[in-house]
Structure 1
Amino acid sequence: MATVSPSSIVIGTYRSLAKLVCRLPEKQQSGAWRELREGYRKHADETSPDRIATLIEEAGKKIAFLRIVTPKAPTNQTGVSRWVYRSSGEKDANGKATLRKSRQVLSNFDGNNLDPCSVSRHNSHLKRMGFVNNLHAKGLF
């Protein structure tokens, strides 16, 4: 089993923290970026494996905290807008629906009957599993 070098772990924690800082609100981003860069640059000369392990552990705690605090979606989205394109090619910002062109019916299933595709699939599964008939359950008569 290959061991992971401490430098790759440090780079991974830095990348994780950078992604989480990007998702912070803009007011908090500048201070968080400064703290992130200064923190990693201050300890760039560390060579002791024990000290590196404690620093990685501290970075893991900060990652866990920022995962809780940061919003999931980017903050620059103000809301969802719906665009409906008319047949003439112009778009309607109000989102009023237009009629769709009718298409060829692929199945005669309408909710009141059995879907023929599902029935044939069911029968093929029964054959595959060995349930050919139910004569064993009927008895002699």
Structure 2
Amino acid sequence: MTSASQSPAVVISTYRSLAKLVSRLPEKQRTGAWNQLREGFRRHADETSPEKIAQLIHEAGEKIAFLRIVTPKPMPGKNNTQSGITRWVYRSSGEKDAGGHGTKRKTGMVVSNFDGNNLDPCSVTRHNHQLKRMGFVNNLHAKGLF
């Protein structure tokens, strides 16, 4: 149970945690979740009983735990806020693409000059270095005397 002096800070922290999780929900679920979050906190705004506040914070904590499971994780290194920035990609024909899909590379086989008939010199050098590092200096033990 939290004391009366801590409950406003705990309530605000709980609201912020729920708001952050609701903002990561898919667009279809987000508006209903925002309304439910606001109405739930406004409905109990005049609550003064410490036991009731502790019970409501516990219920909110259970919702936070559920939303952490359900909501997608934010992408690391990406701007996770809705900043309203649009990326425009200009194609060679002069038209612009708002989706930003014009910079995707073609996926396919990697073209290399080295196949089964000729070896990559860098790979051969690395292989020989690793053999020496592991102690395989020569193969006289496998050849025998002749």
TM-score, L = length of structure 1: 0.49
